């Protein structure tokens, strides 16, 4: 989107009703939440309900932002430990605490 198209879009916001602005906010919040969890499966019904509740709280002024849904790890992610040189990190921590 060009800069002038974006400015035109911003200028068009003044013509929206309150309900249209709430609907636009919801759509933008959904887009932001889904981009925050890029590569993840679509939101579940429970996560969508949570997002809707957060949208209502935001509209009421109770919260200041909508947090993306927390995704539960499925165990499919592979844990890869980081190799370090020298003594094991646990020994370093024990020595430093003395």
DSSP class per residue in 47-78: HHHHHHHHHHHHHHTS-SSPPPPPPPP-S-SP
Q: What is the pLDDT of residue 96?
A: 93
pLDDT in tens, the chain (98 residues): 787 888 888 888 888 898 888 888 888 887 777 665 556 666 778 887 888 888 888 888 888 887 776 665 555 566 777 888 888 889 999 999 98
Smallest CA-to-CA distance from 31 within 61, 68, 62 is with: 68
Residue 20, token pair as written in the block: 């249209």
Query: Is residue 39 a contact partner of residue 48, using CB atoms and an 8 Å limit?
Result: no
Q: What is the pLDDT of residue 41?
A: 67
Q: What is the pLDDT of residue 94?
A: 93
Residues 6 or more apart whose Cβ sits within 8 Å of residue 95: none
Smallest CA-to-CA distance from 47 within 25, 69, 26 is with: 69
Q: pTM for the complete prediction?
A: 0.36
């Amino acid at each position: 989107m060009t800069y002038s198209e974006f400015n035109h879009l911003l200028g068009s916001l003044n013509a929206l009703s309150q309900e249209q602005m709430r609907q636009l906010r919801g759509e933008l919040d959904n887009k932001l939440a889904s981009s925050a969890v890029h590569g993840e499966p679509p939101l579940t019904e429970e996560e969508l309900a949570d997002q809707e509740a957060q949208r209502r709280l935001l509209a009421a002024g109770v919260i200041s932002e909508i947090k993306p849904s927390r995704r539960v790890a499925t165990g499919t992610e592979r844990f890869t430990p980081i190799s370090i040189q020298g003594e094991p990190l646990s020994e370093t921590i024990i020595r430093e605490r003395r």
